[in-house]
Amino acid sequence: MRRSPLFFTLFLLIILTISCSRSETYKQPIAYNHKLHVEEADLGCLDCHKGVLTHRKATIPNIDVCIECHEEAMTESKEEEKLVNYISENRQIPWVQVHRVPDHAYFSHRRHVSLGKLGCQECHGNVAGMSLPFSRPAVKIDMEWCLRCHKKNGVDRDCATCHR
């Protein structure tokens, strides 16, 4: 049986679309629920991501932060049980960093949040509404995306600003 060129073209187009639409996803060790912590515990981003205002990196919270509320379990949650085990064993949670800036670019959370007055949702999306942790970045962080933001906010777009 002979296939038409149209069939072959459509088949290739479908395969190409599927392969290009897949982006890397990450599995976190604990199914952390941001929404629960925001709504039930009235926590904000800066309560756990302590380095945002003062450091280049925002820091991914670990047991030194979580122990403030979770030295003992507060619920019957299996995910909280995992957390309490990390704390009781004094083991760091092996979180997988999802949002990454390329090595060749300089990025400072302090500059963008403290000085630039950007909200976390600008780059990370509606984290407060997430009941599961990030499995992929909220936005594709690349030069085009950064330049659009710099242009929109009237920020320097000289190459040396970000590439050092």
Q: Summarize pLDDT for 26-71 with one digit per residue, the tens.
A: 999 999 999 999 999 999 999 999 889 999 988 899 999 999 999 9
Residue 69 lies in a domain: no
Give the pLDDT score at 141: 85
**Class of residue 134 by CB neighbours under 10 A (exposed 0-12, middle 13-18, buried 19+):** buried
Residue 90 lies in a domain: no
Residue 49 lies in a domain: yes
The Cα 84–Cα 89 span in angstroms is: 8
pLDDT-derived band at 19 (thresholds 50, 70, 90) equals very low
Predicted TM-score (pTM) of the model is 0.77
The Cα 129–Cα 139 span in angstroms is: 16
Give the pLDDT score at 21: 45
Is residue 116 pLDDT above 60, yes or no?
yes
Q: What's the domain range around 40?
A: 25-60+95-162
Residue 1 lies in a domain: no
**Of 9-13, 90-94, 126-130, minimum mean pLDDT range:** 9-13
Residue 53 lies in a domain: yes
Residue 71 lies in a domain: no
Structural domain tally of the chain?
Answer: 1
Residue 14 lies in a domain: no
Per the prediction, the chain carries an average pLDDT of 88
